[in-house]
Structure 1
């Protein structure tokens, strides 16, 4: 016979797995929204007071709605782009064995892009601008139970430009 605590432990473990999957969907949604220039979807990923910090990559820091506007303008220079977010290290808040409503995630990124170059037709859409670094995400569970980004900080570590950027 199983101990009486076994069903509770299984529910907690299932809730933890579900939280991990939901957070993974938020982070993947972040990359897709930026790559597809879907700024409505980008903003929907954040809490009402959510902020983004792109200063280490030459950008701005501020409310998600303001940063979305800046990204929309800046990324017009890069009609071809793809975010790859990998090596995700997630730390869920632990409330005495139960998952809390707060999480931190660090993830490395590789971001190949193609800089718009008017007048230059080289017959390729290969990337000529590539950056890499690490994201730091702070996430909160909303009152509705969904996970949202409260803060994201970009820590750009390197960038390469030119015809052979990759």
Structure 2
């Protein structure tokens, strides 16, 4: 591999890492226009393993906006990112996959008492794996698909 090709690969990997980070921030902040801007126009997402829906990015953004109103606090931690750049011949190219694990502590909306840890303590946590697909566009890397593979969840309802 030449230095130019290596530099390009590193820059692509950084851009894809930034794309996944942007995804987490948009979901956590409820920035649905920003969420949609991360995708290609034909982008799709599948949240069925977490009890959600599968569909186009506009439909998913509307569903997430409605569903996540139930949580006053959200924080996606997306880790162990495995980025693969590929062309049909196996060389780095204009499509990519990112497989990454996630941990997602959230706080259900509603009144909280000091005994419950106040408004910042999570009482709902889930974890699993994301499969992201992406394509290089004129505007940079954009998501073409997101599939959530929820592996576990824990809900704390208070008490002992």
What's the TM-score once normalised by structure 1's chain length? 0.88
| Bigger Cα Rg | 1
Partners of 2:85 and 2:91 within 8 A in 1: no
In the aligned structure 1, how far is the partner of 2:88 from the partner of 2:102? 30
Deviations 1:33-76, CA, capped at 9 Å, x for gaps: 00000001100000010001000000000001100000000000
Q: CA deviation at 1:116?
A: 1.3
Query: Which runs of 5 or more residues in structure 2 are unaligned?
Result: none
Instruction: Tell me, yes or no, if structure 1 residue 38 matches structure 2 residue 31.
Output: yes
Cα distance change on mapping 1:96 and 1:12 into 2, 3 Å: farther
Structure 1 residues not aligned, in runs of 5+: 1-7
Q: Residue in 1 aligned with 2:154?
A: 160
TM-score, with normalisation over the residues of structure 2?
A: 0.91
The alignment covers a number of residue pairs equal to: 155
Task: Decide which of 24, 43, 46 is 1:50's aligned counterpart.
Answer: 43
Runs (4+) of structure 1 exceeding 2 A deviation are 94-99, 120-123
For residues 10 and 97 of structure 1, the distance between their equivalents in structure 2, rounded to whole angstroms, comes to 19
RMSD: 1.7
Residue correspondence of structure 1 range 63-142 to structure 2 within 5 A: 63-94=56-87, 98-118=91-111, 120-122=112-114, 124=118, 125-142=120-137
In structure 2, distance between residues paired with 1:111 and 1:37: 14
